[in-house]
Chain A
């Protein structure tokens, strides 16, 4: 190669040309999927991207079943929107509860020099930080050079950005992004004769979304222009009473098919346009499991968050490293026969000082003197049992072989 480079002065014509598919559109913040060639965008949470098979495919819906206080699901929604701002995608935010402007003001601040994030020294050390005490532990020399087991889910190549949840995004960055808002209380409800199964609020939302898609040229049927962009749709707390839906309030909801019909229409809209949606639903309020199942089916990806806040698990030492469990309800099969199932189904999430991560759930190492594993149920009343077992060895603390 070096010889040919020095000898030839004319423009290099080699037989090695980068194979590019002209069919794929190059838009910032997207990449084609390795598996099926789908155009993917990042959710903003790197570990969630990995879980969903590299990212969210354009034209699909991610359903997030809210945790009880809607704190972590809201965090993911904000991550998703913040990633859109950084990638210069357009946003569409709809809510019935908070003003979309309020949601946008809370977006986390991006960390744009992402080299610093990998340095462990940057993070302030806590004296009670368990990994630190582990590092200090003497282990056999032959294990010292082994790589550390990585529990956080991550792919090898980076995609998406990192965010600092402790700070909010600067207004200049935020205002650079084009954002469409749909705030139900301020939206005039038209009295046009819509059909019976869909609520007025949902059909107004669907109509408003379609108008944005058609007006701003996200429609795939319109002739290809040079500057194509992605529309990120964030719909907050669909199905809650504020949308006029009674899914959450009654055992036998009158308009039980309204949300499902809306999601069907949303899927139809997204499949024919360059847009991607994240929908949060307060599923813990919905009594009818079958109804929730049909809602899940009409979304593509579905995850459920179960936070430990307010539950007895919060104080359980087994879960002290995590803030909640994450259940993968559904992974779509898009343009292929087999869906990419995750390796692992026991997943937990935590909100670190600056970052939201999803990790494989594992039990903490048992560092007590009695090595016998105590089952979860016994843990509450463990001290007495442990001391009873440990009476034999209480005299000599150090094991001698």
Chain B
């Protein structure tokens, strides 16, 4: 959890806004540090979290979260966290065995044209389940990342359907929140008419979400001291009376956190 980002977004783990859909996107940069932020943020806020980790192993998320002061293993044991490890689940589908006892959540790998219904069912059942053992806060769904689904052959429409269903269930029905990461490739302006998959996905998701965090590399090129810039853009919600839809920050990722600063005010420059 990065406290600087909390103050930028005007949130803290004690008072979270229900019904938020936060979209994290990146282009020529890596926004996965924000996923780790939101994972530790919602776990500290005592929310019931469902995490779809499609690109990395559980050990990776666990190791990073430990640096941020949260233990995923403990959260999993307590029932606060439901973790879908896409990599290990996928193996039983990709290499068919005799005793096929994998979970149904990764069924889209078998036939990508069928859509993500099974994955949605997994999300719904894991967030809906009345465990009753302990009373957790509002449910939260985190996805890392959606664009890998496109690489695996799922169509853009199916991914957008999935996010829409999740939003209806998690944000509206259960009064929870959602954080999704999607990654784009290449320049923004190139291939104007070409409706490339990840671009269309980004547009569709931007339309659905309530807050976007768009991470980019520096327009002036690679720099060691500044890793990139984040564009924070609120939709629908005017902040504290005045209408400030967009903010731009530069960031640097450290070992145990990240610092955000106004453009041009890096400690390396001043």
Interface centre among B112, B152, B256 (most CB of A within 10 A): B152
Chain A residues whose CB sits within 8 angstroms of the CB of B253 once the complex forms: 337-339
Answer whether residue B64 sits at the interface, using C-beta atoms and an 8 A cutoff. yes
The chain A residue sitting closest to B187, CB to CB, is A289
Nearest residue (CB) in B for A207 is: B95
The residues of A that contact B57 with a CB separation of less than 8 Å are 271-272
Q: Are A337 and B224 in contact (CB under 8 A)?
A: no
A196 lies within 8 A of chain B by Cβ: yes
Residue-wise, chain A 284-298 has the 8 Å CB interface mask toward B (1 for contact) of 000001100111011
A343 and B222 alpha carbons, distance in the complex (Å): 10
Please determine whether B151 and A260 come into contact, CB atoms closer than 8 angstroms. yes
Contact with B along A27-53 (1 / 0, CB 8 A): 000000000100000000000000000
Nearest to A197 among chain B residues (CB) is: B153
Interface string of A246-274 (1 = CB under 8 A from B): 00000000000100110011011101100
Output the least CB separation between B220 and chain A (Å). 13
Question: B252-269 vs A: 1/0 string, CB under 8 Å?
Answer: 011111100000000000
Taking the closest CB of chain B, its distance from the CB of A263, in whole angstroms, is: 9
Docked Cα-Cα span, A66 to B59, in Å, equals 31
B148 pairs with A297, CB closer than 8 A = yes
Q: Which residues of A lie under 8 Å from residue B94 when comparing CB positions?
A: 195, 198, 203, 206, 261, 264-265, 268
Partner-contacting stretch, out of A17-25, A104-112, A328-336: A328-336
Chain A residues contacting B198 (CB-CB under 8 Å) are 290, 294
- Cβ B90 vs Cβ A196 within 8 A: no
Q: Is A14 an interface residue (CB 8 A)?
A: no
Q: Indicate the size class of the contact surface on chain B.
A: 35 or more
A301 to chain B, nearest CB (A): 14
Binds A, one of B9-17, B30-38, B127-135: B30-38
Is A192 at the interface (CB under 8 A from chain B)?
yes
B28's closest neighbor in chain A, by CB? Answer: A293
A175-233 contacts to B, CB under 8 A, are 192-198, 203, 206-207, 210
The 5 A-B residue pairs with the shortest CB-CB distance in the complex, in nearest-first order: A293-B185, A335-B63, A257-B153, A268-B87, A294-B151
The 14 sampled A-B contact pairs (Cβ below 8 Å) are: A36-B63, A196-B112, A210-B91, A267-B87, A268-B88, A268-B90, A271-B87, A271-B88, A272-B87, A295-B151, A338-B33, A338-B227, A341-B222, A341-B224
Residues on B close to A: CB < 8 A?
A: 30, 32-33, 36, 55, 57, 59-60, 63-64, 67-68, 87-88, 90-91, 93-96, 109-113, 147-148, 150-153, 183, 185-186, 196-198, 222, 224, 227, 253-258
Question: Beyond the given A335-B64, A337-B36, could you list 18 further A-B residue pairs with CB under 8 A, ordered by the A residue number?
Answer: A196-B112, A197-B112, A203-B94, A257-B152, A260-B152, A265-B91, A265-B95, A271-B88, A272-B57, A290-B198, A293-B186, A294-B185, A294-B198, A298-B151, A333-B32, A337-B33, A337-B68, A338-B227
Which A residues contact B (CB, under 8 angstroms)? 36, 192-198, 203, 206-207, 210, 257, 260-261, 264-265, 267-269, 271-272, 289-290, 293-295, 297-298, 333-339, 341, 343, 345
